[in-house]
Amino acid sequence: MSTTIIVEPDVQQKLAILGGEAADEVTDVPATQSIQQGITHATGFLYDARREGGGTTRLFKVLQTNACRFACKYCFTSCAIRRKRTTFKPDELATTFISLSRNRMAEGLFLSSGIVPDADTTMEQMLATVERLRLREGYTGYIHLKLIPGASFAYIERAVELADRVSLNLEAPNQERLSALAPDKEFSASMWGRMAWAAELMKQARREGRKAARSLTTQFVVGAVGESDRELLATVQRAHRELGLWRAYFSVFHPIARSPLADQPAEDPTRALRLYQSDFMLRDYGFSYDELPFDAQGLLPRDRTPKQAWAERHLHEPIELNRAPRHILVRVPGIGPRSADRIIAARRQSRLRDLSQLKALGVTTGWAAPYVLLDGRRPAVQLSLW
């Protein structure tokens, strides 16, 4: 009779597998340069995420397990793909992160997971990891915790209590697209409903002055199953309005070997950039969904920003920057919320008369110049030689 010996991977082996496979989880809005040139900010399982007010935070990105009961067609953890599977025990993962934190290698934790054998068991393991950090190790730093579709209310509630940010990947804009992308998942109750629970728990905690997660985010897979930009941004707008969504992330599809979509071409990264820019227009610039410049197929232009496309259609008269209110300034291409605030502060001191003044205030002058007046005059624009 033969004996089978199963060797459990050690912590370093698990870290290589579960840290490396967490890299596909988007935790930062990429800059234009990063999108166009493919520049990343990741080193193995450590990732430099940009802070909202500037600077970066070094996150430890890891999966609790890469085993999963679902056969999502785009995903590396899919049960339909043969690969090496492993799992971090809660104490094991907590100890690993605390070591990284104490050695100043990581400033925060981003914890996600495959789903096995079910949603509640998975969330129980993830919460056990975070409870060990918060309650036994006294860790008070940043934790971003993924919510598992279909998890029970008590687990969602506990996640909101323990984490600084919670998120749940909707992956697709509606049930029709989700069925094509992840046929085992249900959109309305299992995913959107769990985000709604989290959003209400966060609002309730704020009303009562209790500590709880400060923000809620989601992520979409872009370009895998024929969804339009119009569909994606309609769902994003609804999430901002109904759930108080802090941010949507867009992960461009890229084929994974041996997956059902292995032969499908990768999506153009510029598409994700245009979706981010459109989301900023909805969230920060005062645009409505109906103003977004979709074409007849429900897609955004790739060759220019959505705000440039909107301006070409609607900004027929130039905007006098010395008088325009903030909500008008942010509609001009090349002017964002921060540069609009700088313009308002600068014009209290003196008249704006030259593009060099705008450039010093953070304006992308090449984009803004065709649409503005400076002290009653159109600025001189360098014509292209080609």
pLDDT in tens, 251-285: 999 988 778 888 899 999 999 999 999 999 999 99
- Say yes or no: 268 and 192 in one domain: yes
Question: Cβ of 151: how many Cβ atoms within 10 Å?
Answer: 25
| pLDDT at residue 143, rounded to an integer | 97
Q: What is the pLDDT of residues 162-174, one digit of tens each?
A: 999 999 999 999 9
* Banded model confidence at residue 30, pLDDT cuts 50, 70, 90: low
Domain that holds residue 337: 315-373
The pairing of strands 372-373 and 42-43 is unpaired
333 domain-assigned: yes
Q: Examine the domain organization and report whether 110 and 252 are in the same domain.
A: yes
**Arithmetic mean of pLDDT over the chain:** 88
- The answer to whether residue 214 scores a pLDDT higher than 70 is yes
Given a cut of 90, is residue 77 above it in pLDDT? no
Same domain? For 235 and 346 the reply is: no
User: Is residue 5 domain-resident?
Assistant: no
Rounded Cα distance between 308 and 304, Å, is 6
The CATH number covering residue 154 comes to: 3.20.20.70
Residue 305 within a domain: no
Domain boundary residue among 291, 324, 357? 291
Among the candidates 258, 291, 324, a domain finishes at 291
Question: What pLDDT is attached to residue 21?
Answer: 62
Indicate if 275 and 334 belong to the same structural domain: no
Q: What local confidence, expressed as pLDDT, does residue 45 receive?
A: 81
Q: Does 301 score more than 90 pLDDT?
A: yes
Confidence (pLDDT) at 259: 81
Q: What is the CA radius of gyration of the chain?
A: 23
Whether 278 maps to a domain, the answer reads yes
231 and 326 belong to one structural domain: no
Count how many domains the chain has.
Answer: 2
Q: What DSSP string describes 67-82? A: --S---TT-TT-TTS-
pLDDT at 4 over 80: no
Where residue 241 falls (left for φ over 0; alpha for ψ -120 to 50; beta otherwise) is: alpha
Assess whether 84 and 179 both reside in one domain. yes
Q: What is the pLDDT of residues 329-363, one digit of tens each?
A: 999 999 999 999 999 999 999 999 999 999 999 99
Same domain, 193 and 332: no
pLDDT at 262: 85
Asked if 96 and 57 sit in the same domain, the reply is yes
DSSP one-letter string for 42-69:
EETTEEEEEPTTSSEEEEEEEESBS--S
pLDDT band of residue 54 (cuts 50, 70, 90) is confident
pLDDT in tens, 115-141: 999 999 999 999 999 999 999 999 999
Count CA atoms closer than 13 A to 332's CA, side-chain side.
30
* pLDDT (0 to 100) of residue 22: 63
Cβ atoms of 269 and 252 closer than 8 Å? yes
Q: In angstroms, rounded to a whole number, what is the distance separating the alpha carbons of residues 321 and 351?
A: 9
Is residue 383 assigned to a domain? no
Same-domain check for residues 150 and 192: yes
Mean pLDDT of 87-103: 94
40 has pLDDT over 50: no
pLDDT in tens, 280-298: 999 999 999 999 999 999 9
Q: Are residues 75 and 118 in the same domain?
A: yes
> Is the pLDDT at 16 greater than 60, yes or no?
yes
Query: Is residue 15 a part of any domain in this protein?
Result: yes
Instruction: Check whether 243 has a pLDDT greater than 90.
Output: yes
Boundary (domain end) residue, out of 291, 307, 330: 291
In a domain, residue 381? The reply is no
Positive or negative: CA dihedral 257, 172, 265, 306: negative
Both 261 and 353 in one domain: the answer is no
Share of the chain above pLDDT 70, in %: 86
- 245 in a domain, yes or no? yes
Q: Select from 162, 150, 139 the least CA-distant residue to 195.
A: 150
Residues 170 and 28 both lie in one domain:
yes
Residue 36: its pLDDT value, please? 41
Alpha carbon 271 to chain centroid, angstroms: 14
Three-state secondary-structure class, residue 166 = strand
Cα atoms found within 13 Å of the Cα of residue 322, Cβ hemisphere only: 14
pLDDT score for 68? 87
More reliable by pLDDT, 130 or 86: 130
